């Protein structure tokens, strides 16, 4: 999958248990970010950075969606704890995670395992992939996107 390709559609549950699909946001630019796990240090910093910059995304009519393999309940607690105003989607079956190619082998302390590689996709209003940002830095991902999309 690359720049200009049609972004894979999906249907996942949000933190309220409602079904959400990528196609629900046709005609809008979307920031779709994949992260490993709720309430871990890097993922919390990344989510809070998106929350701090959320007004800038709203002003540009950009939809922000975070996806991890955590449960709906985990997302609800994570969003409430950190006052996250954007959409979090649960993907325990790895439907979108695998479709976007972010389920990869990772090395931690010399041990190999499979997991979500922190990656952000910018999807154009026509549903095509505009930009892929692999292995983003949690603290600066949101502000870098806003600076680029000015």
Residue appearing with tokens 């949101």: 142
43 labelled catalytic? yes
Taking the C-alpha atoms of residue 14 and residue 76, their distance in angstroms, rounded to an integer, is 8
Going by C-alpha positions, the residue among 42, 96, 45 that lies closest to residue 67 is: 96
Q: Which helix (H) or strand (E) holds 81?
A: helix 72-82
CA angle 9, 73, 35 (to 5 degrees): 50
- Of 20, 43, 65, 90, which is the active-site residue? 43
The catalytic residues are: 43
């Amino acid at each position: 999958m690359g720049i200009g390709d049609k972004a894979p559609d999906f249907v996942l549950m949000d933190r309220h248990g409602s079904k959400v699909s990528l196609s629900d946001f046709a005609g809008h630019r979307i920031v779709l970010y994949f992260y490993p796990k709720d309430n871990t240090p890097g993922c919390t910093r990344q989510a809070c950075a998106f929350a701090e910059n959320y007004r800038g995304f709203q002003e540009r009519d950009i939809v922000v969606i975070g996806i991890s393999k955590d449960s709906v309940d985990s997302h609800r607690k994570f969003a409430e704890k950190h006052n996250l105003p954007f959409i979090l989607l649960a993907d325990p079956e790895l439907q979108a995670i695998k479709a976007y190619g972010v389920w990869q082998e990772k090395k931690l302390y010399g041990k190999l395992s499979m997991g979500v590689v922190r990656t952000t996709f910018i999807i154009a209003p026509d549903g095509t992939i505009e930009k892929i940002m692999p292995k983003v830095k949690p603290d600066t991902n949101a502000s870098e996107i806003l600076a680029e999309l000015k």
